[in-house]
């Protein structure tokens, strides 16, 4: 009898957690990137011809619940550290998402984080970004999302941008269950 009431209480807690027909998902995008060794990107400024400023496009498994649902909120949080070896300048770390692998870097980044760097210093740059573009918000409903990162530098500098966290908190409403 006691187990039955615990089960009922657990179901009630799950139902109350979603509230008003909403489901909340937390995706650890960083775990996909770090598993593929794509969480660190060297930067150099000015960029010599032929030197890439991007990682190879990575595949991230997402919600895969289809387009009949409405994405209410997408919030991206995390941190990147700019580990500067030489020079003074600034670095911009941009993250791109797309539903087509070949066009990841052709569009506008989902967000960018910048930081001023000095020789031999590490500049931590935490971020919290609310995605407001409706097309980008609906993209998270796909089963696969392609991710790319780019590091661009100004000044005569050289170092490494290290992503240490990237999470997506997605609130979806209506028609997923």
Residue 5 pLDDT > 50? no
Q: Name which of 18-27, 61-70, 83-92 the model is least confident about.
A: 61-70
Looking at residue 118, what is its pLDDT? 95
The DSSP result for 81-100, as a single string, is EEEEEE--EEEEEEEEEESS
Looking at residue 13, what is its pLDDT? 42
Give the range with max mean pLDDT: 19-33, 106-120, 126-140. 106-120
Assigned CATH topology for domain 21-173: Jelly Rolls (2.60.120)
Contact indicator for 151, 53 with CB cutoff of 8 Å = yes
Going from N- to C-terminal start, the domains of the chain cover 21-173
Looking at residue 175, what is its pLDDT? 59
Q: What is the mean pLDDT of the chain?
A: 84
């Amino acid at each position: 009898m006691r187990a039955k009431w615990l089960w009922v209480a657990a179901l009630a807690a799950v139902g109350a957690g979603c509230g008003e027909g909403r489901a909340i998902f937390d995706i650890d995008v960083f775990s996909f990137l770090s598993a593929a060794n794509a969480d660190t990107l060297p930067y150099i400024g000015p960029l010599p011809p032929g030197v890439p400023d991007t990682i190879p496009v990575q595949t991230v498994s997402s919600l895969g619940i289809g387009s009949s649902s409405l994405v209410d909120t997408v919030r991206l949080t995390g941190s990147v550290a700019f580990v500067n070896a030489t020079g003074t300048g600034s670095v911009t770390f941009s993250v791109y998402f797309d539903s087509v692998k070949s066009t990841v870097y052709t569009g506008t980044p989902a967000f960018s984080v910048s930081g001023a760097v000095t020789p031999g210093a590490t500049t931590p740059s935490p971020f919290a970004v609310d995605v407001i573009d409706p097309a980008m918000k609906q993209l998270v409903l796909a089963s696969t999302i392609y991710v790319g990162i780019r590091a661009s530098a100004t000044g005569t500098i050289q170092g490494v941008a290290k992503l240490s966290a990237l999470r997506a908190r997605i609130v979806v409403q209506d028609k997923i269950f």
